[in-house]
């Protein structure tokens, strides 16, 4: 029944559709669990933008409307150059839109799977450090992202940018959803640890970009990946295999102190 309702009511807007006489839809960028994201143009000629539409079926629920309002408020107050700039919030009946900055860049999903980029250990650590510094600033503002996956982290000319704040929330927010799957629980918990857990998997995606299986036997990442003991120890704590980190600054310190000297020497060779 849910699938039928989505098919009937949640179909994307057609190319050329105008919103509030200010924006025109050019293409669909993606469809998530509660929103549909479009590339659009501003009719005043000031350039492209991104429009995120709350699914109509989600607008019928208090949870969906709350998620929409929360994402808009987070973008409004976050004030980080790593996040998209909020341009507008439009809501009329069951048609709700967030209009934000278009970021010219490639997601790490695009880089790995479409462009075939390979990230060695040094590159992975440098990217991870940059992302962690951004995430640390989010946490200092009392916000967690809770969806730090390769489609939501971009490489732009200005550096790393992070998008899709649909699951982001305040660290003081009381969790409402009970997740039965252990991994979902770790990814979505209202704790800084949820961001670290997600970034542990983000790092593994980068490290596996150059992995070539030698046998058909499936092994753990610790057996398959040829990485330093220092990075392995950091990832084990981020993934909560070992007692987890409580601060992004602690992860940054461990990465820099345990790995940087060896990586710097390698870079200078």
Q: pLDDT tens digit string along 239-251?
A: 999 999 999 999 9
pLDDT score at 269: 36
Q: Which residues of the chain have pLDDT under 70?
A: 1-9, 92-93, 174-181, 259-269
**What pLDDT is stored for residue 266 in this prediction?**
42
Select from 69, 64, 61, 70 the least CA-distant residue to 33: 64
* SS3 category, 31: strand
Q: For residue 177, what pLDDT is reported?
A: 61
pLDDT of residue 14: 94
User: Domain residues for 75?
Assistant: 9-101
Q: Are residues 156 and 83 in the same domain?
A: no
Residue 192: which H helix or E strand, with range?
helix 192-208
| Upper half-sphere CA count for residue 210 (Cβ side, 13 Å) | 14
- Answer yes or no: do 120 and 96 share one domain: no
231 with 174, same domain: the answer is yes
Q: Pick the last residue of a domain from 45, 74, 101.
A: 101
Q: What pLDDT does residue 7 have?
A: 46
Residue 25: give its domain's CATH number: 3.30.200.20
Domain's final residue, options 101, 117, 141 = 101
pLDDT digits (tens, 9 = 90+) for 81-123: 999 999 999 986 678 999 999 999 999 999 999 999 999 999 9
State residue 93's pLDDT score. 61
Query: For position 34, what pLDDT does the model report?
Result: 82
Whole-angstrom distance, CA of residue 224 vs CA of residue 148: 23
Q: How far apart are the first and last CA of the chain?
A: 61
pTM: 0.88
Is 52 labelled a binding residue? yes
Q: What per-residue confidence (pLDDT) applies to 8?
A: 52
> Within 10 A of 16 (CB to CB), how many other CB atoms are there?
8
- Choose one of 72, 101, 130: the last residue of a domain: 101
In this structure, the answer to whether residues 150 and 26 fall within a common structural domain is no
Angle between helices 248-268 and 229-238 (to 10 degrees): 160
């Amino acid at each position: 029944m849910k699938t039928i309702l989505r098919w009937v009511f949640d179909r994307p807007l057609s190319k050329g559709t105008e919103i509030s006489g200010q924006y025109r839809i050019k293409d669909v960028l993606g469809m998530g669990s509660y929103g549909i994201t479009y590339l659009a143009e501003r009719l005043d000629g000031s350039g492209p933008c991104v429009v995120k539409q709350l699914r109509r079926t989600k607008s019928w629920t208090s949870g969906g409307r709350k998620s929409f309002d929360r994402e808009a408020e987070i973008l409004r107050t976050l004030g980080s150059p790593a996040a998209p700039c909020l341009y507008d919030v439009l809501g009329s009946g069951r048609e709700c839109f967030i209009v934000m900055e278009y970021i010219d860049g490639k997601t790490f999903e695009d880089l790995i799977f479409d462009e075939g980029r390979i990230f060695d250990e040094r590159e992975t650590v440098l990217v991870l450090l940059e992302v962690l510094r951004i995430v640390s600033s989010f946490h200092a503002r009392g916000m967690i992202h809770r969806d730090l996956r390769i489609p939501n982290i971009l490489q732009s000319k200005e550096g790393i940018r992070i998008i899709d704040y649909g699951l982001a929330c305040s660290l003081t927010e009381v969790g409402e959803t009970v997740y039965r799957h252990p991994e979902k629980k770790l990814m979505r918990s209202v704790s800084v640890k949820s961001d670290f857990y997600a970034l542990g998997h983000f790092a593994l995606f980068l490290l596996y970009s150059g992995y070539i299986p030698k046998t058909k036997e499936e092994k753990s990442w610790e057996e398959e990946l040829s990485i330093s003991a220092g990075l392995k120890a950091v990832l084990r704590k981020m993934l909560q295999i070992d007692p987890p980190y409580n601060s992004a600054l602690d992860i940054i310190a461990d990465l820099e102190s345990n790995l940087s000297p060896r990586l710097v020497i390698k870079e200078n060779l």
